[in-house]
Amino acid sequence: MTTNTQGQGHIDEAISIGRKTTYALMGAGLHGYNGINPKICLQIWNIYIKPRVIYGLENIKLSNGDRKRLNQYHKRWLKQMLQLPERTADEGVYIIAGEIPIEAEIDRKILTQLMQIFRGEDIEKDIAERQLAVKDSTSNSWFIYAGKILEKYDLPKIHDLLRTPIAKGVWKKQLTESIINFWKHDILEKAKEKSSLKNLDLKDFKVGNIHSIWKHCNEDTLAVSKAGIKAKLLTGTYLLQSNVAKFQQKSETATCKLCGRQDETVEHFILICEAIEPQRKPFMEKFRKILEQHDVWNHIQVKIYNCYQS
């Protein structure tokens, strides 16, 4: 175990390994635009790429800057897979992918290793006892670093755990729950503040589960590309005239270029625009039948009616 504080070189190497593994696995490059379902890409990420990227990083003291760089690499990877533009709000990317920042996985490894040491009876436990007795919070000790990570996730104090280590299975469950809850709460709180994510149902966020828009596309490249449009609509990055007008106030108006009757908002595009009614109609009829069976059509109809009126 090292007390090396030079995390930067290790992060460069980790990112480089991630890129090389990605290219090696997918030939021309693993990215959403070649029609591979992001659900498969994420499985590849979690099984083959992520473990190689974070390999050994639990033994190094990473600075906040190191963690940020690694998280950025992960987010960019996710955006490419999910066909989302660079400007997509980070929280939207995590929610759509069902992911949490990659640093969470490093923290899990650190705290798993910490408990292994505490449960054991070898030299590393002696070092832990000595360092925790004499070092203060400004020290470079890995054990002090691990103690701060315990605090971050509101887990028991390091001195208590050293005295009374927790059994492997119980600790694994407690760690997983605490880490997921911490990040889920953090992501959802930030997402609530983002106006671009107002159409994203935050209750849908399940860590480890990609958003349902991708679930039934299988290997159908057309369905995958349609899901990519839905992902953009949900994260407020699909280019509608109402967005274009915000950025180019002089040359563009928000008026829908298809029908010329209303501003092109998400509601207008999905529910109202007459120009795309022929494409919408068969779908809406099917949709209506399903909703009537579940006795919720009237409720939805009121919502649609309100959109028409606004």
Q: Which residues bind Zn ion (CB under 5 A)?
A: 256, 258-259, 273
Residue 3: count other Cβ atoms within 10 Å of its Cβ. 15
Nearer to Zn ion among residue 40 and residue 270 (C-beta): 270
Nearer to Zn ion among residue 161 and residue 256 (C-beta): 256
| Inter-residue long-range contacts of 304-307, CB under 8 Å, 24+ positions, other chains counted | 304/271, 307/267, 307/268, 307/271, 307/272
Nearer to Zn ion among residue 17 and residue 271 (C-beta): 271
Token representation of residue 13? 């190497």
In the complex, the smallest distance separating the C-beta of residue 241 from Zn ion, rounded to whole angstroms, is 9
CA angle 62, 53, 117 (to 5 degrees): 55
In the complex, the smallest distance separating the C-beta of residue 272 from Zn ion, rounded to whole angstroms, is 7
In the complex, the smallest distance separating the C-beta of residue 67 from Zn ion, rounded to whole angstroms, is 45
Token representation of residue 274? 């007459």
Contact at 8 Å (CB) between 242 and 199? Answer: no
Nearer to Zn ion among residue 70 and residue 240 (C-beta): 240
As a whole number of angstroms, the distance between CA 66 and CA 7 comes to 6
SS3 call for 60: coil
As a whole number of angstroms, the distance between CA 162 and CA 5 comes to 24
Nearer to Zn ion among residue 244 and residue 259 (C-beta): 259
In the complex, the smallest distance separating the C-beta of residue 263 from Zn ion, rounded to whole angstroms, is 9
Nearer to Zn ion among residue 115 and residue 272 (C-beta): 272
Nearer to Zn ion among residue 23 and residue 308 (C-beta): 308
As a whole number of angstroms, the distance between CA 68 and CA 72 comes to 6
In the complex, the smallest distance separating the C-beta of residue 306 from Zn ion, rounded to whole angstroms, is 18
The torsion region of residue 35 among left (phi > 0), alpha (psi -120 to 50) and beta comes to left
Contact at 8 Å (CB) between 297 and 289? Answer: no
Nearer to Zn ion among residue 128 and residue 256 (C-beta): 256
In the complex, the smallest distance separating the C-beta of residue 238 from Zn ion, rounded to whole angstroms, is 14
The torsion region of residue 164 among left (phi > 0), alpha (psi -120 to 50) and beta comes to beta
**First vs last C-alpha separation in the chain:** 63
In the complex, the smallest distance separating the C-beta of residue 227 from Zn ion, rounded to whole angstroms, is 23
In the complex, the smallest distance separating the C-beta of residue 229 from Zn ion, rounded to whole angstroms, is 16
